[in-house]
């Protein structure tokens, strides 16, 4: 039975648009959309407070400690209107023990007369100061009638905001959103819930929005932990479902006779490393199984993944099917093509390149040859899975992803083939935790060894005040005939500033080095980028100024110097990737990390690690350990699954439990039919895992 799977009705209110809230205008909706990334009520409800204001300190004025947030009940005794535009309006109040002045700048006398009439008793809340020995409060956060005391929150949640949205506003909207949260069926195991002492989902969500103590804001607080766990469980369950689906499908047996692989190895000037041999053995075993293969191949930059992928593809070709390799960018696809095609040609195998730029007759010919089977290996970008691309018999797909593809793109290419086996390659070593969050329990192989004879990169950490010396040293290197990258500062908030900085540096360096300097940046058209990259490859340019676009896999063996400006702003994984760019050749390489002050402790630690090790796996682990404070740039673009409620810095242990839990659930109740199973479906929809359960056989 194939069930139509749809969002359960009980969740509809949470997926309503925030424009349906009371007292919200289109302008505010737009601002909230920018803040939350969506206009769904659920995202408002999942916007957690980052702080709290405790207004529960309600002293008599005579005892009040200035500097604190106070809530004070007092009588208005006098208004002192300003004598000039620059003076504030003052309202004197008394509670019988002492006086306090409320200070207002730029305010209409009318509104003061209305809100604070002389003789009335009011409750005001805000930060208490003392000025010349007198108590005062500027622009109180709240002024309420003594009968309206409940309009004044004694504990106020403070949220990450955006210009145009105030704490009061967001509190009001979030309160409304919380009213709409229904009681949902419990999807967590009862025993487990009891053991953790957790509240139900609705209660937990309500509680996190009404923090009382600082400890309520901690990731480990009971209610935050529960919500984090829910999110992690949804993530792990969705991944497990996709994986089961792929695994259950009958696959094909790929088992070649080894002839092509033997010929290739004879052409190559090197032996495979032990690590390469090991992972190949794992891949060949998978390929030979009658199930669909889905395996992740991890290997640091330069560890030799390409040749491993090629050998696996040749195994497929030997057994009579076609193989494809998909890269995230045209530059990378071309690079693979340039490595693979000549080798294939030598052994009589036809490999072609199909990218967006492939047009007209060339493209038609390629499409024809893919369909009639003349092409054995096709290399390209997502262009490989456009509608009109048909294969004779695609049996093996390599996705060189570098984190740029989502699960769906991965699967859509493999769907082109009849039960094609899939190998996913990633260049960034990923710590175990992140493998789990992005891939679930996918089998994975690790190339944990570099080919022999690689020389360590001479990595130096320098203050930017040494820029002059750096340029002089660079000059010597360039005169010796090397090529160099110069990576420009990243400014997260604004690509414009980024670009301006890169362009300014480019002009500086051009003034110094002349016209053999080139510039590539993210805003350039792919075509123009290619032209510059091509010139750098050919050596027409020998100094390439770049924003981090070069992070993704360019291969220029002659480039042996990497200068990174504002290295303190980059994450470890990024620095490591960038440094990997200059390890491609036989000559010893240099990496100069220029930093500016102030240098935070974490940044300093990162730079130290870069100096100490080149082991990508170690660096990745350290990266995860050190991460924090929003300091690392470019984590979002790394494409890792990002969570709204869970935080991988704190909830790793919960992730491991969720992973086990998901496995148990699917073992016991593979179709999510039981009572808990039904509740878990709601959980999946709550966290918008619709895609992974669509078409799920229920
Ligand atoms: P990756 O894709 O993992 O970054 P590549 O496959 O591009 O690495 O390999 C980097 C370089 O190392 C290439 O020039 C490749 O020919 C070479 N190489 C690969 N395997 C070996 C090996 N076993 N011994 C020596 N060199 C190797
Ligand atoms: Mg490669």
Once rounded to an integer, what is the mean pLDDT over residues 549-554? 61
> Where does the pLDDT of residue 405 fall: very low under 50, low under 70, confident under 90, or very high at 90 and above?
very low
Ligand 1 atom at minimal distance to the Cα of residue 271: 23
Q: Partners of 397 in the beta sheet? A: 324, 422
Which residue's CA is minimally distant from atom 14 of ligand 1? 584
Comparing 38 with 257, which gets the higher pLDDT? 257
- Minimal-distance CA residue to ligand 1 atom 18: 304
**What spacing in Å lies between the alpha carbon of 336 and ligand 1's midpoint?**
12
| Ligand 1 center to 308 CA (angstroms) | 9
For the CA of 342, the nearest ligand: 1
**Pairing verdict, β 421-426 and 155-158:** unpaired
Which has more confidence, 615 or 648?
615
73 beta partners: 123
Q: Assign 2 to helix, strand or coil.
A: coil
Q: Report the pLDDT value the prediction gives residue 592, as an integer from 0 to 100.
A: 95
Report the run of H or E that residue 332 belongs to, with start and end: helix 330-346
**Strand arrangement, sheet containing 421-426:** 351-354, 377-380, 322-326, 394-400, 421-426, 294-299, 443-447
Q: What is the band of 655 on the pLDDT scale with cuts at 50, 70, 90? A: very high
Pocket mutation for ligand 1, best pick of 451, 552, 584 (most atoms within 8 Å of C-beta): 451
pTM metric for this prediction: 0.69
Convert the pLDDT of each residue in 657-683 to its tens digit.
999 999 999 999 998 999 999 999 999
Q: Is the pLDDT of residue 632 over 60?
A: no
pLDDT digits (tens, 9 = 90+) for 441-472: 778 899 988 888 778 899 999 998 998 999 99
Nearest CA to ligand 1 atom 15: 304
Which residues are placed with Cβ below 5 angstroms of ligand 2, an ion? 306
Q: Is the pLDDT of residue 120 over 70?
A: yes
Q: What tens digit of pLDDT does each residue of 182-194 get?
A: 999 999 999 999 9
* % residues pLDDT > 90 (the chain): 55
CA of 193 to the centre of ligand 2 (A): 46
Residue 648 pLDDT class (50, 70, 90 cuts): confident
Q: Tell me which ligand sits closest to the C-alpha of residue 429.
A: 1
pLDDT at residue 635 tops 60: no
Question: Which ligand has the minimum distance to the alpha carbon of residue 274?
Answer: 1
Ligand 1, atom 24, residue with closest C-alpha: 451
Q: Please tell me the predicted confidence (pLDDT) of residue 494.
A: 55
Ligand 1 pocket by C-beta < 6 Å: which residues? 270, 272-273, 276, 299, 301-307, 427, 451
By alpha-carbon position, which residue is closest to atom 20 of ligand 1?
Answer: 304
**With contact defined as beta carbons under 8 Å apart, do 563 and 486 qualify?**
yes
- How many whole angstroms separate alpha carbon 351 and alpha carbon 341? 5
Task: Count the Cβ atoms, other than its own, within 10 Å of residue 136.
Answer: 19
| Cα→Cα distances 252→18, 247, 282, 295, 409, Å | 49, 12, 16, 15, 21
Classify burial at 174, counting beta carbons within 10 Å of its beta carbon; exposed 0-12, middle 13-18, buried 19 or more: buried
Residue nearest to atom 6 of ligand 1 (CA): 304
Q: What is the band of 174 on the pLDDT scale with cuts at 50, 70, 90?
A: very high
Tokens of 319: 């057994």
Q: Tell me the CA distances in angstroms from 117 to 33, 80, 99, 696, one per residue in order.
A: 39, 12, 16, 66
Distances (CA, A) of 524 to 200, 252, 555, 656: 50, 43, 20, 42
pLDDT of residue 344: 96
């Amino acid at each position: 039975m194939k069930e139509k799977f749809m969002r359960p009705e009980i969740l509809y209110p949470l997926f309503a648009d925030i424009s349906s809230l009371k007292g919200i205008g289109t302008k505010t909706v737009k601002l909230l959309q920018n803040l939350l990334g969506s206009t769904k009520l659920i995202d408002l409800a999942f916007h957690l407070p980052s702080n709290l204001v405790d207004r529960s300190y309600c002293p008599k004025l005579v005892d009040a400690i200035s500097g604190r947030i106070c809530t004070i009940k007092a009588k208005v005794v006098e208004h002192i209107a300003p004598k000039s535009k620059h003076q504030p309006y003052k309202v004197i109040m008394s509670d019988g023990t002492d006086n306090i002045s409320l200070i207002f700048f730029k305010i209409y006398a009318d509104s003061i007369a209305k809100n604070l009439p002389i003789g009335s008793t009011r409750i005001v809340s805000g930060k208490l100061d003392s000025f010349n020995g007198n108590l005062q409060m500027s622009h109180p956060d709240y002024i309420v009638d003594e009968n309206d005391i409940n309009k004044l929150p004694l504990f106020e949640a403070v949220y990450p905001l955006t210009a145009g949205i105030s704490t009061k506003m967001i509190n009001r909207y979030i309160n409304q959103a919380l009213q709409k949260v229904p009681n949902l069926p419990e999807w967590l195991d009862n025993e487990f819930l009891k053991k953790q002492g957790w509240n139900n989902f609705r209660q937990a969500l309500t509680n996190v929005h009404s923090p009382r103590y600082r400890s309520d804001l901690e990731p480990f607080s009971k209610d935050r932990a529960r919500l984090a766990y829910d999110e992690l469980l949804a993530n792990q369950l969705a991944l497990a479902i996709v994986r089961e689906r792929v695994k259950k499908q009958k696959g094909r047996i790929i088992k070649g006779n080894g002839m092509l692989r033997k010929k290739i190895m004879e052409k190559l000037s090197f032996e495979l490393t032990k690590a390469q041999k090991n992972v190949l053995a794992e891949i060949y075993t998978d390929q030979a199984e009658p199930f669909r293969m889905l395996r992740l191949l991890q290997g640091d930059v330069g560890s030799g993944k390409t040749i491993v992928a090629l050998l696996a593809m040749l195994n497929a070709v030997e057994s009579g099917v076609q193989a494809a390799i998909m890269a995230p960018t045209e530059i990378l696809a071309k690079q693979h093509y340039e490595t693979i095609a000549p080798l294939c040609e030598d052994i009589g195998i036809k490999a072609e390149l199909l990218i967006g730029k492939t047009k007209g007759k060339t493209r038609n010919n390629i499409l024809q040859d893919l369909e009639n089977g003349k092409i054995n290996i096709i290399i390209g970008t997502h262009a490989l899975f456009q509608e009109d691309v048909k294969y004779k018999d695609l049996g093996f797909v390599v996705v060189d992803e570098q984190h740029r593809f989502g699960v769906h793109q991965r699967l859509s290419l493999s769907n082109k083939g009849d039960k094609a086996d899939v190998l996913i390659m990633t260049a960034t070593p990923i710590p175990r935790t992140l493998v789990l969050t992005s891939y679930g329990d996918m089998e994975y192989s690790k190339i944990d060894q570099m080919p022999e004879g690689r020389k360590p990169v001479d990595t130096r950490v320098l203050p930017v005040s040494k820029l002059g010396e750096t340029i002089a040293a660079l000059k010597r290197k360039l005169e010796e005939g090397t090529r160099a990258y110069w990576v420009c500062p990243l400014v997260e908030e604004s690509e414009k500033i980024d670009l301006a900085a890169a362009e300014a540096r480019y002009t500086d360096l051009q003034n110094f080095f002349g016209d053999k300097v080139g510039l590539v940046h993210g805003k350039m058209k792919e075509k123009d980028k290619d032209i510059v990259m091509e010139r750098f490859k050919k050596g027409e340019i020998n100094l390439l100024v770049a924003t981090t676009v070069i992070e993704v896999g360019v291969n220029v063996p002659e480039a042996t110097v990497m200068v990174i400006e504002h290295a303190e702003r980059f994450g470890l994984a990024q620095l490591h990737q960038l440094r990997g760019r200059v390890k491609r050749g036989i000559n010893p390489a240099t990496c100069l990390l220029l930093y500016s002050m102030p240098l935070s402790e974490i940044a300093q630690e990162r730079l130290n690690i870069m100096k100490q090790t080149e082991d990508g796996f170690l660096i990745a682990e350290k990266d995860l350990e050190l991460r924090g404070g929003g300091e690392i740039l470019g984590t979002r673009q790394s494409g890792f699954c990002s969570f709204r409620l869970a935080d991988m810095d704190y909830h790793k242990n919960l992730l491991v439990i969720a992973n086990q839990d998901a496995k148990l659930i699917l073992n016991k109740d593979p179709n999510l039919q039981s009572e808990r199973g039904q509740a878990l479906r709601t959980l999946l929809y709550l966290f918008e895992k619709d895609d992974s359960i669509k078409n799920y056989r229920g």
